[in-house]
Amino acid sequence: MQRTPIIAGNWKMHKTIQEARDFVRAVRSFLPGGKVETVICAPFTALAALVEELHNYPAAIGAQNVHWEESGAYTGEISPGMLVEIGVKYVIIGHSERREYFAETDETVNRKAKAAFAHGLLPIVCVGENLEQRESGKTKELVRDQVIRAVEGLSSEQAKQLVIAYEPVWAIGTGKSSSAEDAQEVIAFIRSMVEDAFDSQVASQVRIQYGGSVKPDNIMAYLEQPDIDGALVGGASLAPDSFLQLVEAVRRQ
Catalytic residue numbers, as ranges? 95, 167
109 binds ligand 13P (CB under 6 A): no
Stretch of residues binding ligand 13P (CB under 6 A), selected from 103-111, 141-149, 165-173, 243-251: 165-173
Q: How far apart are CA 126 and CA 9, in angstroms?
A: 13
CB-nearest residue to ligand 13P: 234
* Comparison of 60 and 232: residue with beta carbon closer to ligand 13P: 232
168 binds ligand 13P (CB under 6 A): no
Helix 180-197 vs helix 139-151: crossing angle, to nearest 10: 40
Among 212, 229, 242, 249, binds ligand 13P (CB under 6 A): 212
- Length of the chain (residues): 253
173 binds ligand 13P (CB under 6 A): yes
The residue count for binding ligand 13P (CB under 6 A) is: 14
Stretch of residues binding ligand 13P (CB under 6 A), selected from 18-26, 32-40, 127-135, 229-237: 229-237
Spatial CA neighbour of 164 closest among 80, 230, 79, 215: 230
214 binds ligand 13P (CB under 6 A): yes
Q: How far apart are CA 98 and CA 167, in angstroms?
A: 13
Q: How many Cβ atoms from other residues are within 10 Å of residue 86's Cβ?
A: 15
Stretch of residues binding ligand 13P (CB under 6 A), selected from 78-86, 104-112, 133-141, 234-242: 234-242
Give me the least distance between CB of 189 and ligand 13P, in Å please.
20
Handedness of CA 192, 193, 199, 201 (dihedral sign): negative
| CB neighbour class for 81 (10 Å; exposed up to 12, middle 13-18, buried from 19) | middle
Q: What are phi and psi of 226, to 5 degrees?
A: -65, -25
234 binds ligand 13P (CB under 6 A): yes
235 binds ligand 13P (CB under 6 A): yes
* Binding residues among 72-101 for ligand 13P as defined by CB under 6 A: 95
Parallel, antiparallel or unpaired: strands 122-127 and 207-211:
unpaired
Residues that bind ligand 13P (CB under 6 A): 10, 95, 167, 172-173, 211-214, 232-236
